[in-house]
Amino acid sequence: MGHSAPPNLTPVQKTSPYILPATGTADDVSSAVPYGIYTGSVDFCSGAATQVAFTYRMLGGDVLDIELTAENVYSAYETSVLEYSYIINNHQAKNVLSSLLGASTGSFDQRGELKTSGYLSQSLSGTHLALKYPNFRFEYSKRVADGLGAEAAVGDDSRIYSGSITLRDSVQDYDLQDIANDVTGAVSNKRVAIRRVYYKSPTSMWRFYGYYGGLNVVGNLYTYGQYSDESTFEVVPAWQNKLQSMAFETNLYTRASHYAYEIRDNRIRLYPPPSEPGTGSPNKVWFEFTIPQDPWEEDPTREDGVDGINNVNTLPFANIPYENINSMGKQWIRKYALAIAKEMLSQIRGKFASVPIPGDSVTLNASELSAQAKSEQETLKTELKELLDSLTYSAMVDSDAKLSEDANRLQVNIPIGVYIG
């Protein structure tokens, strides 16, 4: 009696026609990823292909069918790289934004890449500013200080104009805005800011600055012969002379002034009414004023203006080049891409709660996969962000300061060697 050969069984997947292969192909990556941002990088294509084998092993492809395609894994890998670039760029923005305010920005394409043409990008093309360590310029602090200085009329680069009022007998009211318009054509329709009102009394001022006043010692050096042998001279620093002159001037304006005044709507009223010229009263009153700058008007005297970087959105940060991501970053990318692949698989398996088989059914693990995938993604992002937050430039300064203090405390307890002989 003859024996028939055993059947050659070749099981065929009936649940899904798409099963993840054990390996990927680098040549297929470019046509599979949705954005194609990194397809010009050979290393990226190789990494995406290798991710297929990693995903296949980690999801148990040797034992179970994985209802994914290699293209799904390539897309997950690209998404993971972009997420890593996004988090790193956010971290760097915290480090450098205050120093880059007002600097050149750029224009970007739909992928977030810096354009190579256009006036905004000409000086930045191909620079990958997110990879650079910029000089610290404290632009925000300086801009605030400039604004405060301009308001107080000290320490800023605002131009101060001056004008004069020719006093008329018994006329108290004068329009400073009209006079300022006549002084300079830069006023236009802008409202000027009156900074100071004064008049000069040469006789009074000469008491301090003249050669015979006795206060200004330096001015008297050339006329030493007028003093007796008992005269003493004090050598004082220049700043003390300056403070004396300021105090003297303030005293004159406050206690010895011919006039008081009030300003309303840039119209000045003098008290008492001016006397007729030639009666001993001043015939002119001077005033200083500035022209407030429009907040959106470019200042040609500044290197950094209003058209530059103003917030995180205008930082010229493109996606981080794949080749500049180190081993720590690439390992994060692999793990995050695996978590994305799990989420994709849960979406596919979630189409059906169970799959019928002869005489029974198989329950799929879509809900468990989804929860696991989301948890892993959140954990990876949280760990990376916490690491970066602890390594911001300001945090490292604090850490270095503490290290220095600890080192000083250690040095205090180390005995000093004493050498004999």
pTM value is 0.67
Residues 335/383, Cβ–Cβ less than 8 Å: no
pLDDT tens figures, 155-187: 666 778 888 888 888 899 999 888 888 877 767
264-307 pLDDT, tens per residue?
Answer: 888 999 888 887 666 667 788 888 888 877 766 666 655 556 67
Collapsed DSSP state (helix, strand, coil) of residue 261:
strand
Point out the least confidently predicted range of 5-14, 144-153, 230-239. Answer: 5-14
CA distance 55 to 342: 9
Q: Pairing between strand 193-198 and 284-290?
A: antiparallel
- Give the highest mean pLDDT range of 29-33, 97-101, 147-151: 29-33
Q: By C-alpha distance, which of 283, 336, 318 is closest to 124? A: 318
Q: What is the pLDDT of residue 78?
A: 98
- pLDDT (0 to 100) of residue 167: 87
Domain definitions of the chain by residue range: 26-133+312-394
Structure-block tokens of residue 138: 């404290």
Percent of the chain with pLDDT over 90: 32
Reported as a pLDDT band with limits 50, 70 and 90, residue 21 is very high
Say yes or no to pLDDT of 356 above 60.
no
Q: What is the pLDDT of residue 233?
A: 59
Instruction: Convert the pLDDT of each residue in 91-109 to its tens digit.
Output: 999 998 888 887 778 778 8
Rounded distance between C-alpha atoms, residue 252 and residue 206, angstroms: 12
pLDDT of 75 higher than 90: yes
Backbone phi and psi for residue 194, each to the nearest 5 degrees, phi listed first = -75, 125
Helix (H) or strand (E) segment spanning residue 165 = strand 161-166
Return the higher-pLDDT residue of 364 and 212: 364
212, 225 in Cβ contact below 8 A? no
